[in-house]
């Protein structure tokens, strides 16, 4: 059995921290619900203590919901759902980042060829992600001249525009981004094999 690396230990600590935050938010939600539903007498010492603990967490969420026209009584669910979803996203990003750092460290151990291989891989992934963003942007009418989209068009024009000259649209549907995506996948897999 292999000893845990520092990255694995850090990820486990992050998991416990995120779980602790979620458990705390569940405590806040349950306490607030007990007082609001009058399971605990609202003017009792216990209810005052619970409100003193829960209000600093729920009041900002209630104000935020109220400003947007929602029901402030749903603040508990927003807190619980936000900590759950935020925790999942945060842990997923942390795990992804740890994996990428391990891959870069491994590539560095393999010398210049490993570094070139990692650079080619990340460059290919950047172009593929840019292609996906370009397509999704076109669905919402965000085109080439939008300041946020210029970079994505710059990264993908080299493959999409030549394909547009060869492949005609099918009715109103432009299939060149799909063909470009497949071509990028083939080029990237071929480059990974030869490097």
The tens digit of pLDDT for each residue in 25-84 reads 999 999 998 988 888 888 898 889 998 999 998 999 999 999 989 898 889 999 999 999
Residue 84 C-beta-side C-alpha neighbours within 13 Å: 8
How distant, in Å, are the alpha carbons of 22, 83, 97, 166 from that of 16?
A: 10, 13, 18, 54
Integer Cα distance of 145 and 143 in angstroms: 6
DSSP 16-49: HHHHHHHHHHHHHHHHHHHHHTTSS-TTSHHHHH
How far is CA 40 from its chain centroid?
39
Please tell me whether the overall predicted TM-score, pTM, comes out greater than 0.85 for this model.
Answer: no
């Amino acid at each position: 059995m292999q000893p845990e690396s520092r990255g694995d230990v850090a990820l486990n600590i992050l998991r416990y921290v995120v779980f602790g935050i979620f458990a705390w938010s569940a405590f806040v939600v349950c306490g607030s619900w007990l007082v609001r539903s009058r399971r605990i007498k609202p003017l009792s010492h216990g209810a005052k203590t619970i409100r003193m603990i829960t209000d600093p967490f729920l009041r900002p969420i209630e104000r935020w919901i109220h400003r947007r026209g929602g029901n402030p009584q749903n603040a508990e669910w927003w807190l619980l759902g936000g900590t759950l979803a935020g925790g999942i996203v945060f842990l997923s990003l942390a795990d992804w980042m740890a994996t990428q750092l391990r891959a870069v460290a491994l590539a560095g151990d393999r010398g210049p060829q490993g570094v070139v291989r990692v650079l080619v891989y990340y460059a290919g992934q950047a172009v593929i992600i840019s292609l996906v963003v370009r397509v999704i942007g076109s669905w919402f009418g965000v085109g080439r001249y939008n300041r946020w989209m210029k970079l994505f068009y710059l990264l993908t024009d080299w493959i999409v525009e030549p394909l547009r000259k060869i492949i005609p649209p099918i009715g109103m549907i432009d299939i060149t981004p799909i063909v470009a995506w497949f071509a990028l996948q083939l080029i990237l897999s071929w480059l990974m094999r030869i490097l």
